[in-house]
Amino acid sequence: MASSSLPFTSLHPQFVSPNTKSSTTRLSSRRIRASVSEKPPVPAPAVAVPAKGETKLPLKKIPGNYGVPIVGPFKDRLDYFYNQGRDEFFKSKIQKYNSTVFRTNMPPGPFISQDPKVVALLDGKSFPVLFDVTKVEKKDLFTGTYMPSTDLTGGYRILSYLDPSEPKHARLKQLLFFLLKSRRDHVIPEFQASYSELFETLEKEVAEKGKSSFQTANDQAGFNFLSRAFFGSNPPDTKLGTDGPSLISKWVLFQLGPVLKLGLPKYVEELLIHTFPLPPALVKKDYQRLYDFFYESSGSIQDEAEKLGISREEACHNLLFATCFNSFGGMKIFFPNMLKWIGRAGIKLHNRLATEIRSAIRSNGGKLTMAAMEQMPLMKSVVYEALRIEPPVPLQYGRAKKDIVIESHDAVFQVKQGEMLFGFQPFATKDPKIFDRAEEFVGERFMGEEGEKLLKHVLWSNGPETQQPTLGNKQCAGKDFVVLMSRLLVVELFRRYDSFDIEVGKSALGAAVTVTSLKRASF
The residue-averaged pLDDT of 144-150 equals 98
Whether residue 386 has pLDDT greater than 50: yes
- What pTM did the predictor assign? 0.90
Confidence (pLDDT) at 388? 98
Whether residue 21 has pLDDT greater than 60: no
The residue-averaged pLDDT of 218-232 equals 98
Whether residue 449 has pLDDT greater than 70: yes
Stronger pLDDT, 18 or 55, i.e. the higher one: 55
Whether residue 16 has pLDDT greater than 90: no
CATH assignment, 59-520: 1.10.630.10
Confidence (pLDDT) at 508? 85
The residue-averaged pLDDT of 35-58 equals 49
DSSP letters spanning 67-78: -STTHHHHHHHH
Residue 316 marked ligand-binding: no
Q: What's at 427, amino acid-wise?
A: F
345-375 pLDDT, tens digit each: 999 999 999 999 999 999 999 999 999 999 9
Stronger pLDDT, 32 or 76, i.e. the higher one: 76
**CB neighbours of 236 closer than 8 A, spacing ≥ 6?**
224, 242
Whether residue 47 has pLDDT greater than 80: no
Whether residue 20 has pLDDT greater than 90: no
Whether residue 1 has pLDDT greater than 70: no
Q: How far is CA 328 from CA 4, 70, 71, 245, 482, in A?
A: 15, 35, 37, 9, 10
Task: Compute how many other C-beta atoms are within 10 angstroms of the C-beta atom of residue 517.
Answer: 12
The residue-averaged pLDDT of 494-500 equals 98
271-318 pLDDT, tens digit each: 999 999 999 999 999 999 999 999 999 999 999 999 999 999 999 999
Number of H helices, E strands in the chain: 17, 11
What is the rounded average pLDDT for all residues in the chain?
91
Strand intervals (E) in 202-350: 212-213
Q: Which residues pair with 519 in a beta bridge?
A: 499
d(CA 450, CA 4): 28
Task: Compute how many other C-beta atoms are within 10 angstroms of the C-beta atom of residue 163.
Answer: 17
Confidence (pLDDT) at 19? 36
Whether residue 510 has pLDDT greater than 90: no
Whether residue 328 has pLDDT greater than 50: yes
How do the domains of the chain map onto residue ranges? 59-520
User: Which of 313, 323, 256, 467 minimizes the C-alpha distance to 11?
Assistant: 323
Q: Are 405 and 413 in contact (CB under 8 A)?
A: yes
Confidence (pLDDT) at 43? 40
User: Which of 499, 212, 207, 504 minimizes the C-alpha distance to 352?
Assistant: 499
